[in-house]
Amino acid sequence: MRPAGRPPTSFLAGTHQGGTKEVVDGRPKADHDERAGSVSVPPLQGRGGACRVRAMSTTAPETGLAPYATQPGASRGRLYPEAESPIRSPFQRDRDRVLRATAFRRMKHKTQVFVAHEGDHYRTRLTHSLEVAQIARTICRTLRLNEDLVEALALAHDLGHTPFGHAGEDALNTAMAPYGGFDHNAQTLRILTRLERRYAEFDGLNLTWETLEGVVKHNGPLTGPLSGGKTVALPILEYVAVHDLELGTFPGIEAQVAALSDDIAYNNHDIDDGLRAELFTVADIAGIPLVGDIMASVKARYGELEEPRLIHETVRRLIDFMVNDLLAETRRRLEAAKPADVAQVRALDHAVVAFSEKMRAADAALRAFLHERMYRHEKVNRMTNRARGIVADLFTLMLANPDVLPYEWRRRADAPNSPRTARLVADYIAGMTDSFALDEHRRLFDPLAGPKTT
């Protein structure tokens, strides 16, 4: 008889009988009483077979980190040299600078899928980034990687997003097509290196090379034979002309962890948000591979639950399952490649942080479901179509009439319709929150409507 709480063998056939330890606070949890409420889930089988998640055996003695982790004492430094802190590592300082950035605070009013006024419980860019950081730190602690660096990357990775999510980005990219386009990843780099104006000696936050490299390359190489023919955004090309981020290689291992932690976070919280918005039902997700299996195991253990409890118990197990799968597959790849340091991680022709083949297939099925049933839902489409119109209207007006910009922006503008003014207007709009963009559009296009009332 299958133990309660364990996904059925329909999805997990062929996995190691012993399973894997649950990761708690970044470390594999010891054997525990199932009655306490924690569930260990067996790993998925990939080509290399199932393997247990275990602590790394080889470490850099001065830090306790694995040798292929990014060592804080070996940072390549900052574009503008600064004295080191006697109490914080370079990457702790990077994280702290991101936390105190104006762009970071604005993320609390930028939503992932829904516009802010549609509800207070949906994820925002800020809460999403915090969830990514939590998952990334757990993974890095287990693998003995640099937690401070991965946290800085997780907290910074979405700073460049426009209001209204990807709909706003699509509209701004279309408007900016004659001027080099718009890309949220490149915009994050602009924020970190130019747009934050807080320090006396430089623009931007003057973050370390490793943090900037990870922000730009967290999804892999941007140039060369490993890039897959990607088009590199103009702001990135402009920056690397003065500060080479080595676009043709994979990033350090912490950036790779941050990238997949992002995937784990948004796939799982989009299930939660989509159910809350009634875009699909619990019965709908029961047919998704892995998700349905885990939900069935929750029901087998607890019987009938209130829907919010059922959803939470399913999502928390799904996150744990994906993290454990990533840890097992990453260990397998590390043992095969045997990188001696982070430079050898960058020199590989493939990522070392990855899901197993079977998890990649399950993840693809979940993404396909969310794309069809959530991101293309008529309720979301109505909102995104309006959002695109708002962004397009604001850009067209401000490009032709930069006098409508606030003084601190207007004084840096060039002539109307010039490339410099276009980029400045894009920076201004990209920094807007959902609510500010709605109010600004109302103020400029319907002044008789007055301020928004709530």
Q: How many CB atoms lie within 10 A of CB 301?
A: 16
Q: What is the 3-state secondary structure of 348-409?
A: CCCCCCCCCHHHHHHHHHHHHHHHHHHHCCHHHHHHHHHHHHHHHHHHHHHHHCHHHCCHHH
Q: Going by C-beta distance under 8 Å and a sequence separation of 6 or more, which residues neighbour residue 140?
A: 26, 69, 146, 147, 150, 254, 257
Give the integer Cα–Cα distance in Å for 274 and 292.
16
Q: What is the mean pLDDT of residues 66-74?
A: 97
Give, in order, the Cα–Cα distances in Å from 325 to each of 37, 116, 319, 373.
21, 34, 10, 26
238 Cβ neighbours under 8 A, 6+ residues apart: none
- The CATH label, of 3.30.1540.10, 2.60.40.10, 1.10.3210.10, 3.40.50.300, for the domain at 91-454 is 1.10.3210.10
Give the integer Cα–Cα distance in Å for 168 and 33.
48
As a whole number of Å, the CA-based R_g of the chain is: 23
CA atoms within 13 A on the CB side of 79: 20
For residues 396 and 404, the answer to whether their CB atoms sit within 8 Å is no
Closest alpha carbon to 120 in 129, 109, 107, 104: 109
Tell me which of 382 and 53 has the higher pLDDT: 382
Helix (H, G, I), strand (E, B) or coil at 28: strand
Going from the C-alpha of 304 to that of each of 301, 383, 413, the distances in angstroms are 9, 35, 61
Query: Which pLDDT does position 24 carry in this prediction?
Result: 40
Cα 23 from Cα 32, distance rounded (Å): 12
Q: Considering only the C-alpha atoms of the chain, give the largest distance between any 2 of them, rounded to a whole number of Å.
A: 75
Report whether pLDDT(49) > 90: no
Could you report the per-residue pLDDT of 360-378, keeping only the tens digit for each? 999 999 999 999 998 888 8
Buried b (16+ CB within 10 A) or exposed e, 222-260: bbeebeeeeeebbbbeebbeeeebbbebbbbbbbbbbbb
Six token digits for residue 327: 């840890």
Every domain of the chain and the residues it spans: 91-454
Residue 49 zone, left/alpha/beta (φ > 0; ψ -120 to 50; rest): left
Condensed to tens digits (0 to 9), the pLDDT of residues 187-232 reads: 999 999 999 999 999 999 999 999 999 999 999 999 999 999 999 9
Task: Confirm if 297 and 19 have CB atoms less than 8 A apart.
Answer: no
Residue 376: per-residue pLDDT: 83
As a whole-number percent, the residues of the chain with pLDDT over 70 amount to 83
pLDDT per residue as tens digits for the range 80-119: 999 999 999 999 999 999 999 999 999 999 987 655 445 5
**Comparing 61-70, 84-93, 117-126, 384-393, which segment has the lowest mean pLDDT?**
117-126
CA 179 – CA 233 distance, rounded (Å): 11
**Does the pLDDT at position 12 exceed 50?**
no
Give dist(CA 366, CA 352) in Å, integer.
Answer: 23
> Residue 89 has which token pair?
């590592």
Q: Does residue 454 register a pLDDT over 50? A: no
- pLDDT on residue 46: 38
Residue 287 in contact with residue 320, Cβ under 8 Å?
no
CA 396 to chain centre: 30
Q: What is d(CA 182, CA 324) in angstroms, rounded to the nearest whole number?
A: 36
For residue 63, what pLDDT band results from cuts at 50, 70 and 90?
confident
What are the C-alpha distances in Å from 189 to residues 173, 207, 366? 16, 10, 30
Residue 48 has pLDDT above 60, yes or no: no
Go through 361-395 and write b for each residue having 16 or more CB atoms within 10 A of its CB, e for each that does not.
ebbeebeebbeebbbebeebeebbeebbebbbbbb
Distance separating alpha carbons of residues 18 and 314, to the nearest angstrom: 22
Per-residue tokens: 273 = 């948000």
Q: Can you tell me the distance from the alpha carbon of 194 to that of 205, in angstroms, rounded to the nearest whole number?
A: 8
For residues 323 and 139, the answer to whether their CB atoms sit within 8 Å is yes
- Which residue carries 């706003």 as its tokens? 168
* 262-316: pLDDT as tens digits: 999 999 999 998 898 889 999 999 999 999 999 999 999 999 999 999 999 999 9
Instruction: Give the confidence band of 25 by pLDDT, cuts at 50, 70, 90.
Output: very low
